[in-house]
Structure 1
Amino acid sequence: MATFNLTPFDHSTFILTGIPGLEAAHVWISIPVSTFYICSLFGNFMILFVVGKEQTLHKPMYLMVCMLALTDIITSASIVPKALCIFWFKLKGITVGACLTQMFFLHTSTVMHSAVLVTMAFDRYVAICNPLRYSTILTNARIAKLGLIGLLRAVLCTLPLPLLLSRQPFCANRIIPHMYCDHMAVAKMSCGDITVNRMYGLVAVIVVMALDLTLISLSYIMIIRAVLRISSKKAHQKALNTCTAHICVILTSYSPFLFSTLTHRFGQGIAPYIVIILANLYFLLPPMLNPIIYGAKIKKLRDKVVKYTCRR
């Protein structure tokens, strides 16, 4: 993994403590962490493999599922290997350059994950509200363009975070009470003024999440209006069933993220290890659950996964 070479402290190190207060239980904590990670990699790579192999799955819906799988792989791979090194081998040191690089990939994949969920909401809106035009509105090429736009937005939103930190003087005490290089956790190691870092990080989270949640909400308002116009109850159920997987993924993604963000910034009275565990759940649970949700809810995808799994 490449590292940012933007600071005179590149060859010095930070110390990641893991989960402060639970150091004695690190080996036990590593068991669910490694299990979630293995399940996440297996499920997401299986989806990528199956969609890649099956020509009948080369359609917008499955391409978006693949985009989600890629962001999940990058998110979990950004933090879990280093976390396991801390838990198993006590390798707590990380160079400043590697720390900023980890931060960049972690937050970029988070923003990209949100953009994919917005694209999926748009897909469900078109499928239910304009079904006759679905194939002309949502082509593979258009989905690819939306993915590139989402990636560009993620990079532009995230890049200032490590760039701003690279200009900060870091204090002698470089112990980060965390499993990974979270933006605010690293910023607090600075001896300089971090007002700009603090404000930019908060504004970026609010703007990105508020915009994405607004677009998703608007899509579902339009979907509900369209469904209510349908007289048949069977048609109601069929239309809403097409949204079930997406709604489940939204709940598993945004709920822990928003909760951990709020507790990290405003939960001064909460024990630090609880805040860190909540933050880690966001990066561990959705990557593991998303392949299960889509595999269970999308019959065609489920059948193909079973076909290749049984064959092997």
Structure 2
Amino acid sequence: MQHTYVLTLSCPDRPGIVHAVSGFLFERGGNIEEAAQYNDHDTGLFFMRVQFACDQLSEEALRTQLAQFADGFSMNWGLHPLSAPMRTVLLVSKEGHCLNDLLFRWKSGLLPLDIRAIISNHREFYQLAASYNVPFHHIPVTAATKAQAEAKQFEIIQNEQAELVVLARYMQILSDDLCKKLAGRAINIHHSFLPSFKGAKPYYQAHDRGVKLIGATAHYVTADLDEGPIIEQDVARADHSKTVEDLTAMGRDTESQVLARAVKWHSEHRVLLNGHKTVIFK
């Protein structure tokens, strides 16, 4: 039985890397189905994603031999079985448009996820979670209980062995400690008005200023608030006739679509970190 894998890697650029990687896979009976690469001339780094099928070696043997091979190139690498959906935990507060969209796409087979739990600081969406048969954890957060709440959240994330955490309009700022624990595996979504329009009602501020573009940004979570590596962005045009309600609806649609694309690319191992930027092999 053939098993399909995705190999991702980054290393200092030098001639012959593609030849070496393809040769390594060929020698072990690997058949390359998809490949993409990128040379960053500013940093001198090389990035590559390879999808391949292999039936001659076990995953354990592949990992052992890849580790030895990668040492010679100073590679950061990952090997991911394509058949394994990504274990995921979703966080949400009171706005459910992104949560509902992700759940629907997941159940429709459009996202290669295994959604293990939903965590919220409010109770609004426990029935939605139940309708998808996903465990719902209500963990209130106040200034006094923030540390204890985050400890419970992280315990759930660890117990579910989550490879991805999605802040689907979770309106709490994560502590620096939790951001570090989730580095590279937590995705957030926000409106693209930052830093121009901050606060609880950005679309009211945008309407007051007569904006012509409504936008959204999906990015990795870091300790620097809303400054993590960007995965995806999009905009929708607006004009003078749009009300606050129109802008809000347009913004929610854009947020849902942008977050879904970011989650899909991440779960398909198409996003590689490049310092404070990303390389995305679509």
- Greater relative contact order (Cα 8 A, min sep 6): structure 1 or 2? 1
TM range (shorter): under 0.3
Q: TM-score, normalized by length of structure 1?
A: 0.22
More strand by share: 2
Please identify which structure carries the higher helix content: 1
Normalised by the length of structure 2, the TM-score is: 0.24
